[in-house]
Amino acid sequence: MAGIYVHIPFCKKLCFYCDFYHLISTEDNTAFIDALLLEASLRQDYLENETVSTIYFGGGTPSAFSIKELGTILNEIKKLFRVEENCEITIELNPDDINSVYLEGLRELNFNRVSLGIQSWRDSDLKMLNRRHDSAHAAQALKETFDAGFENVSIDLIYGIPGMSAEEWALNLDQAFSYDIKHLSAYHLTLEPGTVFGKMLEKGLIAEIDEDESNMLFNILIEKAESAGFIQYEISNFGKPGYFSIHNSNYWKQVNYLGLGPSAHSFNGYSRQWNVRDVKGYIKLINTGKSFFEKEELDTKARFNEYIMTSLRTMWGIDLEYIEETFEKEGYDYVVNTAGKFKDYGMMIQNKNSLVLTNQGKMISDNIISEFMMVVNS
């Protein structure tokens, strides 16, 4: 049931908001691909021969790579790991990279799920975000994706962009749901330190939208998604029944995964590790047999915190039986006591054996989660 994540850290243009590890694409990807494949072979035992049920090519921009390059990586992974026959194989695509020939190539490689980075249907937003595509491009890319025979199609949208009104956000969602997409990831814009927007924030040239407006946009999202037949299975993720992302769900359900490539994270139940965030350094360290990652062994409290952080964001919530089995009576009592006030305030409800956030609770999920955190001994 394990997963594999492949990080392709190259982008053709840098978006002003993005803090994912990425740099401008290079002409020749050979040294990177060789290092990635070497990493895959060095870490062949990481998943302890578990079957792999999801592979996810993310970035950066995986669609900056040719079909041949993607095939080289995917085929090697299939050789090295026990990949299930009906494995979910996802690729993130930037709308302006793709055409019918490229999409056909992806189908031939057996990619069976795509995630298109539309971000907004408004050209003024796309310009502000420094995206390469415009809305006409996005519509064309989506049409070509369906025409190529992809059925399991997800799109990414960003809301809370300064200058976007509630009506415009609602129209953005209507346009998204007018297509036969099966999944939507909708993220509230965050102004990350170190990004262009982060620097603009420091200089007072841009500001976060206020909390009431954020909540209003979030409510519009929940209502529109629900009436279009989508289920909010995680705070930012909505799927039609049967189309939740297995890959993302696995992250939230503590399933083991191996992350390949610079900045990629891996998890095996007891430790978490993350590769260096530097392509050149990554290639050099791998090729010289040196350590290319940092690792944190997770003690009981850290494992508890991880579980709360991920489970509380999902529709499945905190599983109280799992808490009792894994963290014993002490963990169980702690969770039930902490949940008390949130239940009283209508922020959380207890179903038979689980604690889940209500829509009101989802609006302040980060605050609620932080109240559940156990202090980790260092």
Please identify, using beta-carbon distances, which residue of 97 and 324 lies nearer to ligand SAM.
Answer: 97
Q: Which stretch binds ligand SAM (CB under 6 A): 53-61, 82-90, 246-254, 356-364?
A: 53-61
Q: Which residue in the set 3, 59, 160, 259 belongs to the binding site for ligand SF4 (CB under 6 A)?
A: 59
Give residues with Cβ within 8 angstroms of 354, minimum separation 6.
Answer: 316, 317, 318, 319, 320
- Scan residues 10-49 and list those touching ligand SF4 (CB under 6 A): 11, 14-15, 18, 20, 22
Per partner kind, with CB cut-offs from 5 to 8 A, the member of ligand SF4, ligand SAM, none near residue 39 is: none
Q: Does residue 121 contact residue 138 with C-beta atoms inside 8 Å?
A: yes
The type of residue at 96 is: D
Contact between 94 and ligand SF4 by CB under 6 A: the answer reads: yes
Per partner kind, with CB cut-offs from 5 to 8 A, the member of ligand SAM, ligand SF4, none near residue 14 is: ligand SF4
Q: Least distance in Å: CB of 159 to ligand SF4?
A: 15
Question: Which residues in 91-121 are b (16+ Cβ under 10 Å) and which e?
Answer: bbbbbbbbeeebbebbeebebbbbbbbbbbb
Contact between 61 and ligand SF4 by CB under 6 A: the answer reads: yes
3-state secondary structure of 45: coil
Q: Which helix (H) or strand (E) holds 329?
A: helix 320-344
Would you give the distance in Å from CA 148 to the centre of its chain? Answer: 24
User: Mask 310-349, x = binds ligand SAM (CB under 6 A)?
Assistant: ----------------------------------------
Per partner kind, with CB cut-offs from 5 to 8 A, the member of ligand SAM, ligand SF4, none near residue 187 is: ligand SAM
Give the phi and the psi of residue 82 in degrees, each rounded to 5: -85, 85
Q: At what angle do helices 100-108 and 135-147 cross, to 10 degrees?
A: 40
* Angle subtended at Cα 261 by Cα 27 and Cα 273, rounded to the nearest 5 degrees: 160
Per partner kind, with CB cut-offs from 5 to 8 A, the member of ligand SF4, ligand SAM, none near residue 306 is: none
DSSP 354: E
- Scan residues 148-167 and list those touching ligand SAM (CB under 6 A): 156, 158
Residues near ligand SF4 (CB under 6 A): 11, 14-15, 18, 20, 22, 59-61, 94, 117
Residues near ligand SAM (CB under 6 A): 17-20, 58-59, 61, 92, 94, 117, 119, 156, 158, 187, 189-190, 192
